[in-house]
Structures are given as C-alpha cells and as structure tokens.
Structure 1
Amino acid sequence: MKKILMSFLGALFVLGFGFAGGAGESIAKGPYKIKFGNTQGEKDTQTMGLNEVARRLNASGLFEVTVYPSSALGETDDIMEQGLQGAPVLTVTDPGRLMSYINEFGVIQMPYIFKDASDLDKLIETPMYKKWEKSFEDKFGLKLITSNWYSGARNFVCDKEINKPSDLKGLKIRTIGAQLYTESINAMGAVATPMAWSEVYSAIQQGAIDGAEVQTPSSYATRIYEVSKVTNRTEHFQLIGCVVMGAKIFNSWSREAQEFFIKTFKEVGSENQQLVKKLTLQYEKEMEGYGMIVRDVDKTPFIEAVQPVYDKLNYRKLKDELFKQLGY
C-alpha cells in the first residue's frame, strides 16, 4: 500500500511540475482549439485572411480553428474582453481601439501617417513597436500577435460629392468609437457618429446617419452601395489590423505552436496587403456597375485639416521618432 501511495504522489508531482511551467512550456501538445471572430462579412478581405490562417493552422495538426465573421461572436471589443477573461478567442482590432490601453500606440493609425500598407511589415520590427507589444502583455494580459494586417484606405461614403472639409459640415458620419477617429473626423468637418458596424446599413437607410467613413472591402461586403451613392476617395486612414487574443491562452500552448501561430499570421498579413489593393479596385468597378460614383479627391485640404489633431493627442514628437525608426 505504501509503494502504491508513493507512486501516486510521484505521478501527481510530475503532472504538477509539467503544468507549472512558464510560457510555452505547457504539457499539452494540442491540437489547440480557438475561435476567430470579427465584425466583417464573408466577402471582406479581413475574413478571407482569417479563413486562410485557419486553413494553414488546421492543416498543421497543431490547431482546431473555426472562423466566425459578421459579429457572430460579438463586436470587436466584446471578443477582446472574452479573450482577456481566458476564452480561446481571437479578433482583429485596430490601433485606435488599442490606444485605450496604451495611448501612444494610436500614433500608427493617425490620418495620413502612411501613404499605404507597404511599411507595415517594417513597422512591427521597430524598437518602438516591440516595446508596445511587451507592454500590452505585461500590463494588460493582451497578446498582440501582429499589426501588419491591412483592411484598406478609408473614404467618405455618402450621397454627396466631398471636395473639401466644409462639404462635410453637418453630415453625421459613422466612425469607430475611439478618440483618434472621432477627433480626426470632426477636424475634417463632419459630425463623428460612432456606432457598431453591423448597424450602419440600416442607420443610413433610415436616415439616422448621412454616411460612413469606411474602406472599400467593407462597404462592398456590407452592400453599402445600395444605400449610399458616392465614394469620395479621401483615403484619410490606412486602416491597420491588429491581431489580438488573451495572453493566458497563448502562453498555455507549446513553444512550437506559438511560433507557428505568429509566423502564419504575419505571412498572411503580408499577402493580404496586396490582396486588399487588388480587390479594392475590383470592388470599386463592381460598385460603379451598381450605380455608385467612385471619385478621386484632392487630399491636400484634408491633410491640413487634421494636423491639429497630432498636437491635441500629443503625437507630434512620437511621429517624428517613429519616422526615424522607419528610416523615413
């Protein structure tokens, strides 16, 4: 009986030691189950990217991934909160939302800071970004997988041709509910009106708002062209996708799984940058076929209009340091 008891206690000790390991030392070997959720439709390029990541991860045998588009798991902030509470979920958010955790992080989403997505792969390797990445995990338990995902350039979509900031005066324009976005949209002349993306189509249809500032892949996937007539290509935000999940779940995986997970997301992010550019042109042509006017706009007056926002949010020096690290 004594030998049996000692063997039992020994087994418990081994198991306890195995589960007490640090990040990447979990005794479990997978497959690890996780849900990917976002607010975009099936045809949106972000959803395409998540489906491609899921395909590669599932093929590895290390993961069992299911993708839930169109707010099936809730809005972006809801999914983030689920992850922080320990649920095995992941979503794609943006720097404007994440600045509520680390204010400095919002600088990378400021209007007209990047001409396009070509520098996002370089951005995530800068010392400034690496410092933010560590702070998100250490201070908030939020694992920032990557920020090189790209959703497209955001434009003013409404029933009016917009040529200068004064043309937006009095127009209620849907934007993301974070200070960076509301301050910028107000500075460009509109009345910033935050609301969930899933509510935008009906809000425009019912006259509750006059339009939205949105990237073409999302307006196309949500069929906004059915309720708005004009896409004004101001391209004021290059919308960055930040892939996030709870650090607790991520750190319960084997090191092999962690490395493969991050590598896959970064690779698909790079590929999706080009896909977004290609499909944006394709979708704009299709929307023109449905009667929407897609028009270029002189960006100069809009660039000038948002400059005070850099000072209001104390981002001027931060922008200069970031540009230095990027080699601008």
Structure 2
Amino acid sequence: MIFALALTFFAASIQPAAAEKVLKLGHMMPLVSVEQSCALKFKELVETRSNGRLKIEIYPAGQLGRDKDILEALQFGTLDLGVITTSPQTNFAKEIGVLDVPYLFRDWDHVGKLMHADFYDSLLSSTEKAMFYNFCLLPRGFRNVTNNTRPIVEPSDLNGLKIRVIESPVFVDTFKALGASPQAMSWGEVFTALQQGAIDGQENAMITIYDEHVYEVQKYVSNTRHIFAFASLCGSKMLFDGYPKEDQDLIRQAAKDTAESMMGVVRADVKKVEDKLVAKGMLVNDVNADAFRSVIKPVQEKIAKDYSEDFFNKIKALAE
C-alpha cells in the first residue's frame, strides 16, 4: 500500500505542465499603426498573465488578408484572433454599424462613456450570431477628409469631389448627402488611385492618414470629424468556445485592459499627428461643424433606423 501511494505521488510529481497553446492574430495595418500597438499590448498581457502558457503570434500588414478575409477566417475557425475595423463587420452583423452613424459622437469623452456604458457588452455581443466575438472596441479617432483640390470648410466644398470611402452603404450615403461623389473601394487600391488622380481624396482617421503616408499624395486635410473610427479585437466563436473557461476569462479581460490602455495612448497621439502632417507639408483646416451636422441630420436618422435605433438613442443619450 505504501509503495503504491509513493508511486502515485511520484507519477503526479512528474506530470508535464499544461501544454503551451499558440493563438494566431491577424490584422491588415502596417507595423507602425494603432492596430499593431493594440496587438502587441494584448500579446503582452495574455502571455504574462498565463505565465507563457498562452502565446500570441501576430501577423500584421495583411499577411493573412484584408479585414474581410480575416473576418471569414474567424467565422470558419481557421484563425483565432483579429484586430479589425468595425465598419466591414456591418456586412455580417448590422447592429455594429450603428458606430458609423455620422456625427453620432461629440468628442473623445463621449466615446469613453460608451466603453463604460451598461449596454456596451450587449453591443459587442451583437456579432456572435455571425460566429465571431468582439471582445472590446479600440478607438482610432475621428475620420477626416483629405483631397488635392481645396480646403473643405463648408459642405458645399465637397461638391463633385471623388472621395474614396469604405465599402459600406453608410459611408456612401453620408458623402452623397454632403454633395461628394463617393467612390467605395478597398484600401489597398487607394494610394495608387490618389497618386494617379483617379480620385480626388479620401477620408480616414488622422493616425491612419499619417501611418499610410497619405501626405505623399494629398495636400489638404480638413477636420470634418464626420465619423468616429473604431477597430475591435475579435475572436473566432468556433475556436474560442472550445477553450477552457479560465483561458476565455483571461483573454476577455486582457482585451478590455488593452482597450483601456490604448484609449489614452491613441487620444494623445492624435493631437501629435496633426503637427506631424503639417511638418510633412499638408495644410490642415477646421470646418463649419454646425453646417455639416445640419446637412447630415436626415441621413443620420435613416442610418440609425437601418442598423439599430435602440443603440443609436442610447449612445446619443450618453452625451446629454
């Protein structure tokens, strides 16, 4: 009996540690980007908190495809994680499209209130039916218009300009209402189209304008602040549901802590980026914000009804 107990104890003492698990994370943005910074912070938190048992392998710069490709890989369970712009997610889960309602967010403080609102998790969970999780929102800043023709001050200054927008009805409808000629196209085509003059301009977050070297092919950047840009840290529902609960909890918390950490970093960086763009030769100007809001109001209400009037009203109320 004593020998048997000793043998059992010895066998238990030499059991191998829990096997290391490698999770692959993809995103389409360059090595110097908000998305990469978020991925690195998330990797640090997950690996530290799991004592190295969970490893995150990051595949940046479109190595695994564009946003749509990464989303589909998550849905089919061929990829664990992704950092993905929320706008393309609307094609899979329409409620998340409420984030793209033009002139919904007043300022960064308004965005911060959303991330602590009691309905925040419900908004995130709207993508689960499409077989991927949104673990957190990652703020990227307000989107602004660049072009080579003139500074945009009034909505009428956009009349006739060919402006590249995300392949989303929200963005197309927004810029049609503002008088522009929106050109929906994949980001991979944009730099060349700007360079060749096939389009007059584009719209994006300030940090993306800088990180993607838009200043090399554009002269004016106007602070239209028409839509707030978000990315999110996503996970494959098919794969994630099979993880042990302790790993699920660890990943969810690491994602939320990443978002909290990056919120302050990105907000501070946006203020610095405008100076960097000026140093690169771009001319930056403010716009008549009240005029833009007035023109876009009917479109705002229509878009809210198409996606989620409930979430729209809740988000809007946070600013009151």
Partner of residue 320, structure 1:
313
Q: Does 1:78 align with 2:66?
A: no
Give the drift of 1:178: 1.1
In structure 2, relative to structure 1, the CA distance for the partners of 1:208 and 1:312 (3 Å cut) is: same
Q: 2:258 aligns with which of 263, 268, 279?
A: 268
Q: 1 CA distance for matches of 2:276 and 2:126?
A: 43
* SS at structure 1 position matched to 2:58: strand
Partner of residue 306, structure 1:
296
* SS at structure 1 position matched to 2:199: coil
Indicate conservation of the 8 Å contact 1:96/1:179, yes or no.
no
In structure 2, relative to structure 1, the CA distance for the partners of 1:131 and 1:66 (3 Å cut) is: same
Q: Does 1:44 align with 2:41?
A: no
Indicate conservation of the 8 Å contact 2:153/2:285, yes or no.
no
Q: 1:228 aligns with which of 213, 218, 226?
A: 218
Task: Please provide the CA RMSD for this pair.
Answer: 2.2
Q: 2:143 aligns with which of 142, 149, 154?
A: 154
Partner of residue 172, structure 2:
182
Report how many aligned residue pairs link the two structures: 298
Once the two structures are aligned, what percentage of the paired residues are identical? 27
In the alignment, structure 1 segments of 5+ residues that lack a partner are 1-27
Indicate conservation of the 8 Å contact 2:101/2:303, yes or no.
no
Indicate conservation of the 8 Å contact 1:174/1:194, yes or no.
yes
Q: 1 CA distance for matches of 2:35 and 2:295?
A: 30
Give the drift of 1:118: 3.1
Q: 2 CA distance for matches of 1:185 and 1:105?
A: 20
TM-score, L = length of structure 2: 0.85
Give the drift of 1:172: 1.3
After TM superposition, the structure 1 = structure 2 runs for residues 160-171 of structure 1, keeping only pairs within 5 Å, are 160-171=150-161
What is the CA deviation profile of residues 3-46 of structure 1, one whole-angstrom value per residue up to 9, with x for unaligned ones?
Answer: xxxxxxxxxxxxxxxxxxxxxxxxx9553322222222222122
Indicate conservation of the 8 Å contact 1:225/1:287, yes or no.
yes
Q: 2 CA distance for matches of 1:327 and 1:235?
A: 16
* SS at structure 2 position matched to 1:291: coil
In structure 2, relative to structure 1, the CA distance for the partners of 1:144 and 1:317 (3 Å cut) is: closer
Give the drift of 1:277: 2.0
Query: Which residue identity does 1:85 align to in structure 2?
Result: F
In structure 2, relative to structure 1, the CA distance for the partners of 1:118 and 1:314 (3 Å cut) is: closer
Q: 2 CA distance for matches of 1:177 and 1:99?
A: 10
In structure 2, relative to structure 1, the CA distance for the partners of 1:89 and 1:95 (3 Å cut) is: same
What is the CA deviation profile of residues 183-225 of structure 1, one whole-angstrom value per residue up to 9, with x for unaligned ones?
Answer: 1122122111122222221110011211110111111111110
TM-score, L = length of structure 1: 0.83
Q: Does 1:33 align with 2:18?
A: no
Q: 1:255 aligns with which of 239, 245, 268?
A: 245
Q: 1:286 aligns with which of 256, 267, 276?
A: 276
Q: 1 CA distance for matches of 2:287 and 2:153?
A: 6
Give the drift of 1:125: 5.3
Indicate conservation of the 8 Å contact 2:96/2:124, yes or no.
no
| Worse overlay, 203-212 or 32-41 | 32-41
Indicate conservation of the 8 Å contact 1:117/1:238, yes or no.
no
Partner of residue 17, structure 1:
none
Give the drift of 1:96: 3.0
Give the drift of 1:127: 5.3
Indicate conservation of the 8 Å contact 1:128/1:322, yes or no.
no
Query: Which residue identity does 1:51 align to in structure 2?
Result: L
Indicate conservation of the 8 Å contact 2:143/2:226, yes or no.
yes
Q: 2 CA distance for matches of 1:214 and 1:191?
A: 16
